[in-house]
Amino acid sequence: METFRHKKENKKNSGSALILVIVCMVFAGILGTTVLAASMINRDMKLVDERAKENFYETESGIDIFIANLQKMAEDTLGEEYSRMLTHYGAYGGDAASVVKLQVRNSLAEELTGVKLVEGMSAEILPELMTASSGALFDGVKGFGTDYRLLSGENGVPAVRAEIDGNDLLLRGLSVSYTENGYQTQITTDIRVAVAFSQLNVETPAATGGRYKGYAILADGNIKNQLTASSIRGNVYAGKNLTAEDYELSLNSDILIVGEALETRKSGGLSIGSNSLGKIAVWAGSIATVDGSSGQSIRISRAECHVEDDLTVGADSSYVKIDGEYYGYHSVAGASMQSEGSAVTINAGGSTLDLSGLDMLWLAGRSVLEVPSLYGASGSVSYTEILEGEAISYRGNQLAYLMPEACIREYGHNPLTKAEYDEIIAEKGSIEAVINTTMMFGPDGSMSLAPYVNALTPCTVVPVRFMDEPEPLYYIYLKFRTASAAEDYFLAYSEAFAGEMEQYSDILNLGDVLLPEASEKIKTNGTVIRVRDHAISEVIAGTIDNAAAMLRQSEYGRRFSGLKQALDENYIGAQGNGAVRNLLRISEIEKLSGTETYYFNSAFEKCSADGASYQVMIANGDVSLTSKNISGIIIANGDVELSGVNFHGMLLATGNVTLRDVSASANSEENADFVTELLDKNPEISKYFKNYPLTQTDPGEGTAAARNISITLENWIKN
């Protein structure tokens, strides 16, 4: 009985296990189906996401094509404006880069809209520029995918609008859509266009042409020799004065350009001649021996001199000799008096002016007598200018321009005391009331003022006070009808008062004025005087035709302006900067901290200082060198001082150059044109000169492919 019961219970347990297995298998099947379904859903989701991303990237690629078209249009506009700037540089002023940027912005805006936009305005971009047509912004985009649409301007979506935003051009509301395989992406964005100028050099003037090669020294300021003698062999440019202050400065050049005064001071001397078999071209604002120590000298040999203002002998016992050709001209438009300037004035005793070796003496101006308000004073003194009739004048001849005493009624002398002058004004009302312009005067009573002055305005009164005197004297000077009348008067005066003039020249110890013997070599706009052994031997009338002189002076003025700005007679670009600043990329020099020095071997390759044949020194500031032998280039954004230096090459300074016992030459015996070799073979040096390309040479710097137009997206929205 017990055995049977046990077997029966085992059968019951076997049935329960089977049921449990079946249940587990069902659950496993359900779980597997769920996992499979989840995997399939996940796969589909990934596929959707992948296609959505692909669609998005395709849409962005279309935007890139749109921007590329816009970039090309903007770069073309920049190229046109940049080219126009280079050929019309003077119209852009000093800040050409800023002007060009704004012009590009404005030109691009007008090209896109057909309207000239200003700040605060906006306009719809022209439809033909937005649609897929030749050269259109949308060209290459519409056919990019199966369905690429420009939504802007369609179905109530606003059209893209252009507006001026500061220095940039802003395109508002570009909206595009791209659909493929049932997937669609819409992007709306604003686009900002800015001119970056990361590549172009807008500092380059219209003409530089490498004309600075062959110059030994170029300075926008003054060039001065002090303490000891110095010599320069090579062309020289001084934007202001070139001064031999002590001892002698000798120059042998093909061209010498001095923006203001070519002068000697103290005991200085200038010896100037040609560096070749031809003539030296001298261009100067003026030439002078300046009042100071006696014995100053200026010798200019085999020259073609063009002098914008006067040649003045102002230091006692001076010696000035010029042979070749001399053209004294002036800027008629800038003259404060008719026919002022470009004359020769001898204001010093015991001096010699030797112009006898000239093949042409051409003087377009007449002297002007400057009467000071205070004699014997130091510092600033005001002057009254009295027009004279002479192209070459002596200090003593100023007496010729005083009102003749015989023509002053009742008083009969000149000058007048303050009491006398006040009395005339109180009783007569004007000084003209006591002037008799019809009165005959002179040793033989042959002269009258009537042909030369107006009866109503015959004179200019100048009060002059002498030091330590409480009241001024009133000098009455003649006021001529015209400049020609002043010349005619002096010719008549020099004949009538020949004896008196000779006495004055002897008393004042006037020296010689030696002129070319042949009269056809003398062309002047006023009288000139020959003087030998303190005696006036001849007074010669002017023979210049005024109309022809005006044309010649205009031409000389234009050429001198070009030389001062860019060492180029034909340069007509931006004014205001000196030639050094117009030739150099000052912005590149200003990046330097202090001074950079480069060394080069005989093959013009960079090397160490030891054994170097050439050296290039570039300083953002002043340079001072003592007791050195240098072959190479010195560039200073500041002043340069050289003492005991033997220099071969080219020195450029935006400031002043001071020489003390210096021998400078543009060439060396080994290589006459080594400056060109240095610049042509070393872009890290030539980049400081505007007529060389500005290239990137340091590792890690941007490449030449850098954009000049910057285009960025703003307010970007997807779907």
**Beta-carbon count within 10 A of 545 CB:** 11
CB neighbour class for 602 (10 Å; exposed up to 12, middle 13-18, buried from 19): middle
Summarize pLDDT for 231-268 with one digit per residue, the tens: 999 999 999 999 999 899 999 999 999 999 999 999 99
Distance CA 256, CA 272 (A): 9
pLDDT beyond 80 at 412: yes
pLDDT computed for residue 705 by the predictor? 35
Paired strand residues for 235: 215
> What is the arithmetic mean of pLDDT over 490-509?
85
Share of the chain above pLDDT 70, in %: 84
Report whether pLDDT(537) > 60. yes
CB neighbour class for 180 (10 Å; exposed up to 12, middle 13-18, buried from 19): middle
- The pLDDT tens digits for 108-158 are 888 888 888 877 788 888 877 877 655 677 777 665 555 777 777 777 788
Residue 16 pLDDT: 72
- Binned at pLDDT 50, 70 and 90, residue 477 comes out as very high
Residue-by-residue DSSP string for 207-273: --TTTTTTEEEEESS-EEE-SS-EEEESEEEESS-EEE-SSEEEEEESEEEEEEEEEE-TT-EEEEE
Q: Which residue has the higher pLDDT, 281 or 17?
A: 281
- Reading the block at residue 198, the tokens are 């990361």
CA separation for the pair 625, 619 (Å, rounded): 12
| Terminal alpha carbon distance of the chain | 85
In the chain, where are the structural domains located? 49-195, 582-701
> What is the rounded CA–CA span in Å between residue 199 and residue 701?
12
Residue 156 — left, alpha, or beta (φ > 0 → left; ψ -120 to 50 → alpha)?
Answer: left
pLDDT at 195: 80
Where residue 64 falls among pLDDT bands split at 50, 70, 90?
A: confident
Report the pLDDT averaged over residues 302-324.
Answer: 95
Instruction: Choose between 549 and 2: higher pLDDT.
Output: 549
- The answer to whether 693 and 675 are in contact (CB under 8 A) is no
CA nearest neighbour of 693 among 677, 682, 706: 682
Angle between helices 483-496 and 498-507 (to 10 degrees): 90
pLDDT at 450 over 50: yes
Q: Which of 68-82, 187-201, 277-291, 606-620 has the lowest mean pLDDT?
A: 187-201
| Range picked from 8-12, 219-223, 603-607, 694-698 for highest mean pLDDT | 219-223
Position 422 confidence tier, pLDDT thresholds 50, 70, 90: very high
Residue 394 contacts residue 367 (beta carbons within 8 Å): no
More confident residue, 673 or 658: 658
Look at residue 149 in the predicted model and tell me its pLDDT: 77
Give Rg (Cα) of the chain: 43
In terms of average pLDDT, the best of 69-78, 385-394, 612-621 is 612-621
Give pLDDT tens digits for 478-491.
999 998 899 999 99
SS (H, E, C) 306-342: EECCCEEECCCCCEEEEEEEEEECCCCCCCCCCCECC
3-state secondary structure of 716: strand
Say which residue, 701 or 345, is predicted with more confidence: 345
pLDDT higher than threshold 50 for residue 205: no
| Cβ pair 354, 391 in contact under 8 A | no
- Of the candidates 157, 189, 130, 147, the one whose C-alpha atom is nearest the C-alpha of residue 58 is 147
SS (H, E, C) 142-184: CCCCCEEEECCCCCCCCCCEEEEECCEEEEEEEEEEEEECCEE
Least confident of 136-145, 415-424, 455-464: 136-145
Q: Which residue has the higher pLDDT, 537 or 32?
A: 537
User: What is the pLDDT of the chain when averaged over all its residues?
Assistant: 83
